């Protein structure tokens, strides 16, 4: 296959790109920073890779590279929880997804021949937050800011179906792997200062990066995969339980919770990403018969810790 990927230099995109190349596919990396991509994907190690500079929210020559691609994976979007949510930051979070996806869909419509499939990321923030509800793909969206972002993101992607292109929308949970969210949790545990974030009762719906990458590849290859899929492991946990498993795997206690006000001071409204959560169940993935490498937190954590 020939696959174009946005967000290819990110935590998920870089692993997806490497796996596709390993399996013998051709990858077109659409990036705002060709220099970063060249460093991450040196030509000697990635022979079937093409790097194309693009501006996500503006038309340009980059649109021509989609012609002849078999599929497109859209993982681009401004980071959610790394800065305070100022009005300008919230606008960037929204527009980097909704407007960027609109521009990508327009390019797909103009391609000749067109890609057969678009795998367009979304997030479990679609459902809003709750300590009591369990959400499946059939549930209605929430009403908070992240839910609104996900709705507009998905709506922009759905326009691709008007061009006869198959659409797959994985609503992605917290991704575990060598890096990402768990990398920020490991150092406090090493110093015997680890513990749950906030109350510890909030739900933590996660997926190992390897499982997410394998699902995306299956979505690209299998014409029966279509529509929305909760890209989460089948056993979500509450934050306190997850941190207890992490502490046990590291031989450390999980006793020192991170108070809400600390994260709220650092991230403002962005703290909602870790202080509140949702129990999300992957019913569509289970119906598909998807086989997880890491269905349980203990196994996923052990694999991650093997890199440290």
255 found inside a domain = no
User: What pTM did the predictor assign?
Assistant: 0.94
281 found inside a domain = yes
Closest C-alpha among 24, 8, 112, 37 to residue 69: 112
Closest C-alpha among 126, 147, 152, 121 to residue 137: 126
Tens-of-pLDDT digits for all 308 residues of the chain? 999 999 999 999 999 999 999 999 999 999 999 999 999 999 999 989 999 999 988 888 999 999 999 999 999 999 887 778 899 999 999 999 999 999 999 999 999 999 999 999 999 999 999 999 999 999 999 999 999 999 999 999 999 999 999 999 999 999 999 888 788 788 877 887 677 888 889 999 999 999 999 999 999 999 999 999 999 999 999 999 999 998 999 998 887 777 666 556 655 666 677 788 999 999 999 999 999 999 999 999 999 999 88
Interacting residues of 234 by C-beta distance below 8 A, sequence separation 6+ = 281, 282, 286, 292, 295
76 found inside a domain = yes
244 found inside a domain = no
Calpha distance 76→175 (Å, rounded): 15
CATH of the domain at 206: 3.40.50.720
Buried-state track 102-141, b at ≥16 Cβ within 10 A, e below 16: bbbbbbbbebeebbebbbbbbbbbbbbbeeeeebebebeb
248 found inside a domain = no
**Residue 36 backbone dihedrals phi, psi, to 5 degrees:** -65, -45
245 found inside a domain = no
Provide the domain limits for residue 86.
2-239+266-305
Calpha distance 189→72 (Å, rounded): 39
Count of domains observed in the chain: 1
Say if residues 81 and 270 touch (Cβ distance below 8 Å): yes
Say if residues 3 and 70 touch (Cβ distance below 8 Å): yes
203 found inside a domain = yes
pLDDT digits (tens, 9 = 90+) for 199-242: 889 999 999 999 999 999 999 999 999 999 999 999 999 999 99
254 found inside a domain = no
Interacting residues of 265 by C-beta distance below 8 A, sequence separation 6+ = none
């Amino acid at each position: 296959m020939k696959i174009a990927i946005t967000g290819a230099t990110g935590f998920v995109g870089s692993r997806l790109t490497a796996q596709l190349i390993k399996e013998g596919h051709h990858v077109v990396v659409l990036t705002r920073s060709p220099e970063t991509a060249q460093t991450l994907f040196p030509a000697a190690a990635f022979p079937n890779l093409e790097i194309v500079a693009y501006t996500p929210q503006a038309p340009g020559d980059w649109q021509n590279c989609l012609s002849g691609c078999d599929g497109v994976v859209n993982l681009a979007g401004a980071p959610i929880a790394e800065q305070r949510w100022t009005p300008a930051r919230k606008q960037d979070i929204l527009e980097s997804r909704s407007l960027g996806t609109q521009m990508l869909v327009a390019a797909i419509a103009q391609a000749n021949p067109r890609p057969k499939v678009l795998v367009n990321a979304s997030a479990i923030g679609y459902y809003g937050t709750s300590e009591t509800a369990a959400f499946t793909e059939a549930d209605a969206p929430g009403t908070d800011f992240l839910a609104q972002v996900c709705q507009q993101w998905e709506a922009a992607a759905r326009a691709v179906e008007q061009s006869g292109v198959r659409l797959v929308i994985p609503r992605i949970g917290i991704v575990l792997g060598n890096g990402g969210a768990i990398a920020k949790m490991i150092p406090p545990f090493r110093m015997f200062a680890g513990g749950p974030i906030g109350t510890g009762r909030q739900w933590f719906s996660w997926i190992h990066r390897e499982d997410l990458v394998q699902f995306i590849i299956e979505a690209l290859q299998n014409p029966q995969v279509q529509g929305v899929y909760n890209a989460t492991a089948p056993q979500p946990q509450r934050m306190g339980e997850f941190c207890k498993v992490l502490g046990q795997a590291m031989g450390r206690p999980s006793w020192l919770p991170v108070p809400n006000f600390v994260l709220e001071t650092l991230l403002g409204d962005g703290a909602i990403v870790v202080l509140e959560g949702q129990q999300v169940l992957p019913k569509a993935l289970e119906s598909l018969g998807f086989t997880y490498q890491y269905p349980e937190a203990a196994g996923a954590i052990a694999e991650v810790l093997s890199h440290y």
